[in-house]
Chains A and B, each alone.
Chain A
Amino acid sequence: MTQENGYRQRRWPAVAAVVALVAVLGVAVAVAGRQQATDSTAKPATDGTFAIRNARIFDGVEVIERGTVLVRDGLIEAVAADVAVPDGITVVDADGKTLLPGLIDAHVHAWGDAQQDMLRFGVTAGLDMHGMAERLSALRAQRESTAPSAQADLWAAGYAVTAAGGHGTQYGFPVPTVDADTDIPAFIAARVAEGDDFIKLIVEDLSGYANGRTLPTLDAAQVRAVVDAAHAHDRIAVAHVSTQASAREVLDAGIDGFVHVADDAVVDDAFVADVARRDVFVVPTLVVIASVAGSDAGRTLAQDSALSPWLTPEQRDSLGARMSTAPKPQRLADAIDSVRRLHAAGATILAGSDAPNAGTAQGASLHGELALLVQAGLTPRQALVAATSAPAARFGIVDRGRIAPGLRADLVLVDGNPLDDITATRRIHTVWKNGARVERTKPAAALAAGAVPGDTRISDFETGLDAGFGSWAPTTDQMAGGASTVAHARIEGGANGSAGALSVAGEIKTGFAFPWSGVIFFPAAQAMQPADLSSRGELVFRVRGDGRRYNALLFSGASPTSMPAMQAFEAGSEWAEVRLPLSGFAGADLSQVRGIAWTAGQPEGTFAFALDDVELR
């Protein structure tokens, strides 16, 4: 009996030991395996490893007057006044400069080139407040990757929650909306299932703008239901408001943050006290309110010599635009006063620009917002907190916003000391994203309207590949992952006994769904830069070739990546003149022509043709 007892007593430790072993190894694989799969720290680091020395370091909260940051494989490894720098790694001497965490813009609407534009100005992360849900998983994958990137990372609200026909539905993409019959918990569950990082509500009926037009918007009960549902899914809820009345309503519903400061009046004491007591944060977006107020803030920002060279023509246009025609300077004054009072009461202020609204531009405007926050009573250091550690903390972004070991090496090195002079953030020396230095290229200047010479002739290839204006280049599907090839060169002997022509020969290969290969003419000084050809009516050229059918493609419009318009032509064995009316390029925007291409497509195989006497009449 004792033996039986003893045996039984001895049995459980063994079972417990095996269970513990299996459990802890399972946990280890689950926790570490995923990190390890992408974790390149185990390799002897040579690339992506560097140290920044002698920098004034603002780590998102504190300042180290002179210190070193060590970056290894996209992550910050060490930051301190005194860090041992391993032999043989790249060292950046940052004497006289200040190192900041990558800036976070707490209010953007990012599409198109926004993420590149943000990064060029040191904004390495943004909080997107309204946009299509389809891209949410791609945004998530992008920000989880530690590979070198040319784009800022985004956390996004997906579709903002708004009423049917309300503000937010007017931007040309379908938005699911809330009406009286909507089952709000199910509605929010659907948004969360789409991948929303947080929930944004729009409470805006335009009544604050006193222009007689009002929009439907969410009522108080709906707001409360949305906030409760967001919290039930562990998402924070933030709100667009522009009036004191709706701000109060949303505050009472338990909102986590405002993504504008209401600008119809100065906030009252009770509201300020409540915001502070409930620890609600405010993203004032003073730059966009400045635009609403009719101030010249955007235009002034565009003229800042530290920012100006890095603005694209589109950004310059956007900064120069104004939201309203009738200046209402009181709105900006009230908003600044409100921020001052909220800040003084201890409310958390976050920096956000609401770019790319009129009067703002992605990236650049966050620097303008920082200056306005300082104007509203924040110290430069508090303003920097508002653009780094504070938004990261409030939006649950655990690996950004600070310079601390283990965090993502998203860093901005600026000349001077923004802790004394906030405008020093504009004097960007280097931006690192995921530990890789970002190539900051100056955008090409816009071509002035009518800058294309009056001469209709492009090229006759008598002496070379030069053009009356613009330039020639090869184009193939390799830029889209295909494998087609092409070679182009001037050859002796052209149409009508002329001295030369342009020979284009290559091979269409499989590898891309719509293979192409050929030659492209760029009308402006830079590739794919738009030129105004609206005064021209006809594309005329002579062609000779292998009898294949070819396409003339016309790239145009605001985006360089939009689909080209197309017309077909044949290239027989004898020289023949082809005349293609520009009106035949359906849907083309002739005021912004980016390129004209002569290409072969399917079927696969080799092709060869020659062009001569190309004209735009």
Chain B
Amino acid sequence: MDRTIDPGAHVSLWRCYLLDTRCELLRLLREPMYIIPTLLFPALFYVMFGLLLGGRGSSEAARYLLATYGVFGAMGAGLFGFAVTLSIDRERGFFALRRALPAPPSAWLVSRLLIAMLFALAIVLELATLATVFGGVSLASGQWALLWTITVLGALPFCAIGLLLGSIASANAAPAWVNLLFLPMAFLSGLWLPLSMLPGIFAKLAPLWPAWHLAQIALGVTGQAGATPLWLHLLVLCVVTVACCVLALRRLARAV
């Protein structure tokens, strides 16, 4: 009665994660609500604002928006990937089912983190192609590698925020909540327009938004760093990640 699983039938943990990731990926790919905004919008916006409108005459705008739209993409991948699917799963009682399954309890979390990072990578690669081919942006190979790494890892704080939203919101409300956070945060963090083009109050409040901190780090890589020290950006992103995870996991543990 104590054991329902034969301890001899050992399955590699990695294989569990991989299987889970594959299933989750399949599921998302069949979900246009996620895949279209996440994968296409950053590239589309970059073409419109970075290349067609802002990029004329100078590669500075193309370079600036390369960094910020990458952040925009990572943000979308993290927020949408977690919040919406998680709230649906929660309402459907999927978590109760998972507990009964012979799978490691963390597999769903790990698989979604991996997918969010994978999507973020896809987005920065799209942007990099557009920026080099059409925007005249050239970076040293080390800069490219660093930019991609930052963007991919940068999805993690937004995964955590998405996790928290998904643990609170109902399945119906979650997309609305995510959009309510996603679009204003992108705008207020200077991802679409440099903050210097907006009233000063927005620049003053920018440090409230994790997306601004990630964008500042990414801009540092493309040689457009602000005056704020790197440690502050890293601190904010780490604390946001940890705090949101703690709150969300606690809620999930109680709710399910």
A interface list, Cβ under 8 A from B: 10, 13-14, 16-18, 20-21, 24-25, 27-29, 31-37, 39-46, 70, 72, 75, 77-78, 84, 86-88, 406
B71 to chain A, nearest CB (A): 13
Q: Can you list 19 contacts pairing A with B, beta carbon distance less than 8 Å?
A: A16-B246, A20-B239, A21-B244, A24-B240, A25-B207, A27-B232, A29-B208, A31-B228, A35-B226, A36-B207, A41-B225, A42-B195, A42-B196, A42-B203, A44-B54, A44-B194, A87-B59, A88-B58, A406-B227
Q: Which residue of A lies closest to B229 (CB)?
A: A31
Contact of B136 with A87 in the complex, beta carbons under 8 Å? yes
Question: What is the bound-complex CA distance between A24 and B208, given in angstroms?
Answer: 9
Q: Which residues of B contact A10 (CB under 8 A)?
A: 250, 253-254
B63 at the interface (CB under 8 A from A): yes
Q: Which residues of A contact B206 (CB under 8 A)?
A: 32-33, 36
Q: A43-B197, A86-B60, A87-B59 are in contact. List 8 more A-B contacts (CB 8 A).
A: A17-B242, A21-B240, A21-B243, A24-B240, A35-B227, A37-B200, A42-B226, A86-B223
Contact of A36 with B60 in the complex, beta carbons under 8 Å? no
Q: Which residues of A contact B250 (CB under 8 A)?
A: 10, 13-14
Contact of A41 with B224 in the complex, beta carbons under 8 Å? yes
Query: Interface size (B, Cβ < 8 Å)?
Result: 44
Contact of B207 with A21 in the complex, beta carbons under 8 Å? no
Contact of A45 with B60 in the complex, beta carbons under 8 Å? yes
B256 to chain A, nearest CB (A): 14
Contact of A84 with B140 in the complex, beta carbons under 8 Å? yes
Contact of A43 with B196 in the complex, beta carbons under 8 Å? yes
Contact of A32 with B207 in the complex, beta carbons under 8 Å? yes
Q: Which residues of B contact A39 (CB under 8 A)?
A: 203, 226-228
Question: What is the bound-complex CA distance between A86 and B66, given in angstroms?
Answer: 15
Question: What is the bound-complex CA distance between A77 and B225, given in angstroms?
Answer: 8
Contact of B243 with A17 in the complex, beta carbons under 8 Å? yes
Contact of B247 with A18 in the complex, beta carbons under 8 Å? yes
A87 to chain B, nearest CB (A): 5
Contact of A20 with B223 in the complex, beta carbons under 8 Å? no
Question: What is the bound-complex CA distance between A266 and B203, given in angstroms?
Answer: 57
0/1 interface trace, chain B 192-229, chain A, CB 8 Å (1 if under):
00111100100111111000010000010001111111
Contact of A36 with B243 in the complex, beta carbons under 8 Å? no
Q: Which residues of A contact B194 (CB under 8 A)?
A: 42-44
0/1 interface trace, chain B 234-254, chain A, CB 8 Å (1 if under):
011001101110110010011
B63 to chain A, nearest CB (A): 7
Most chain B beta-carbon neighbours within 10 Å: one of A29, A41, A46 = A41
B172 to chain A, nearest CB (A): 25
Among all A-B residue pairs, the 7 with the closest Cβ atoms: A28-B207, A17-B243, A44-B60, A43-B196, A17-B246, A32-B207, A43-B194
B158 at the interface (CB under 8 A from A): no
Contact of A28 with B60 in the complex, beta carbons under 8 Å? no
Q: Which residues of A contact B58 (CB under 8 A)?
A: 44, 46, 88
Question: What is the bound-complex CA distance between A41 and B212, given in angstroms?
Answer: 13
A284 to chain B, nearest CB (A): 36
Question: What is the bound-complex CA distance between A17 and B206, given in angstroms?
Answer: 21
Question: What is the bound-complex CA distance between A78 and B61, given in angstroms?
Answer: 20
Q: Which residue of A lies closest to B210 (CB)?
A: A25
Contact of B208 with A25 in the complex, beta carbons under 8 Å? yes
Q: Which residue of A lies closest to B200 (CB)?
A: A37
B154 at the interface (CB under 8 A from A): no
Q: Which residues of A contact B208 (CB under 8 A)?
A: 25, 28-29
Interchain CB contact (< 8 A) of A46 among B60, B242, B253:
B60
A132 to chain B, nearest CB (A): 32
Contact of B64 with A32 in the complex, beta carbons under 8 Å? no
Q: Which residues of A contact B64 (CB under 8 A)?
A: 43-44
Q: Which residues of B contact A33 (CB under 8 A)?
A: 203-207
Most chain B beta-carbon neighbours within 10 Å: one of A13, A17, A36, A45 = A36
Q: Which residues of A contact B232 (CB under 8 A)?
A: 27-28, 31-32
B132 at the interface (CB under 8 A from A): no
B138 at the interface (CB under 8 A from A): yes
Q: Which residues of A contact B76 (CB under 8 A)?
A: none
Question: What is the bound-complex CA distance between A603 and B24, given in angstroms?
Answer: 80
Contact of A14 with B203 in the complex, beta carbons under 8 Å? no
Contact of A20 with B203 in the complex, beta carbons under 8 Å? no
Q: Which residues of B contact A18 (CB under 8 A)?
A: 243, 247
Contact of A24 with B235 in the complex, beta carbons under 8 Å? yes
Q: Which residues of B contact A44 (CB under 8 A)?
A: 54, 58, 60-61, 63-64, 194, 224
B255 to chain A, nearest CB (A): 13
Known: A20-B242, A37-B204, A87-B136. A14 touches B228 (CB 8 A): no
Q: Which residues of A contact B254 (CB under 8 A)?
A: 10
Contact of A21 with B138 in the complex, beta carbons under 8 Å? no
Q: Of residues 166 to 197 in B, which have CB atoms within 8 Å of A's CB atoms? A: 190, 194-197
Q: Which residue of B lies closest to A35 (CB)?
A: B227
A465 to chain B, nearest CB (A): 44
Q: Which residues of A contact B242 (CB under 8 A)?
A: 17, 20
B49 to chain A, nearest CB (A): 11
A88 to chain B, nearest CB (A): 5
Contact of A77 with B223 in the complex, beta carbons under 8 Å? yes
Q: Of residues 102 to 155 in B, which have CB atoms within 8 Å of A's CB atoms? A: 136, 138, 140
Interchain CB contact (< 8 A) of A25 among B61, B195, B226, B236:
B236
Contact of A13 with B138 in the complex, beta carbons under 8 Å? no
B214 to chain A, nearest CB (A): 12
Most chain A beta-carbon neighbours within 10 Å: one of B64, B226, B242, B244 = B226
Q: Which residues of A contact B63 (CB under 8 A)?
A: 44, 86
Q: Which residues of B contact A86 (CB under 8 A)?
A: 59-60, 63, 223
Q: Which residues of B contact A13 (CB under 8 A)?
A: 246, 250
Q: Which residue of A lies closest to B242 (CB)?
A: A17
Question: What is the bound-complex CA distance between A72 and B225, given in angstroms?
Answer: 9
Question: What is the bound-complex CA distance between A20 and B59, given in angstroms?
Answer: 40
Q: Which residue of B lies closest to A40 (CB)?
A: B196
Q: Which residues of B contact A24 (CB under 8 A)?
A: 235-236, 239-240
A24 to chain B, nearest CB (A): 4
Q: Of residues 44 to 79 in B, which have CB atoms within 8 Å of A's CB atoms? A: 54, 58-61, 63-64
Contact of A36 with B228 in the complex, beta carbons under 8 Å? yes
Contact of A29 with B227 in the complex, beta carbons under 8 Å? no
Interchain CB contact (< 8 A) of A37 among B54, B197, B203:
B203
Question: What is the bound-complex CA distance between A299 and B227, given in angstroms?
Answer: 45
Q: Which residue of B lies closest to A16 (CB)?
A: B246
Q: Which residues of A contact B213 (CB under 8 A)?
A: 28
Contact of A36 with B203 in the complex, beta carbons under 8 Å? yes
Q: Which residues of A contact B244 (CB under 8 A)?
A: 17, 21
Most chain B beta-carbon neighbours within 10 Å: one of A18, A28, A70, A75 = A28
Contact of A41 with B227 in the complex, beta carbons under 8 Å? yes
Q: Which residues of A contact B227 (CB under 8 A)?
A: 35-36, 39, 41, 75, 406
Q: Which residues of B contact A84 (CB under 8 A)?
A: 140, 223
Q: Which residues of A contact B224 (CB under 8 A)?
A: 41-42, 44-45, 72
Q: Which residues of B contact A14 (CB under 8 A)?
A: 246-247, 250
Q: Which residue of A lies closest to B219 (CB)?
A: A42
Most chain A beta-carbon neighbours within 10 Å: one of B63, B136, B225, B242 = B225
Q: Which residues of A contact B223 (CB under 8 A)?
A: 70, 72, 77-78, 84, 86
Question: What is the bound-complex CA distance between A37 and B200, given in angstroms?
Answer: 6
Question: What is the bound-complex CA distance between A29 and B207, given in angstroms?
Answer: 5
Q: Which residues of A contact B240 (CB under 8 A)?
A: 21, 24
Question: What is the bound-complex CA distance between A70 and B59, given in angstroms?
Answer: 17
Q: Which residues of A contact B247 (CB under 8 A)?
A: 14, 17-18
Q: Which residues of B contact A32 (CB under 8 A)?
A: 206-207, 226, 228, 232
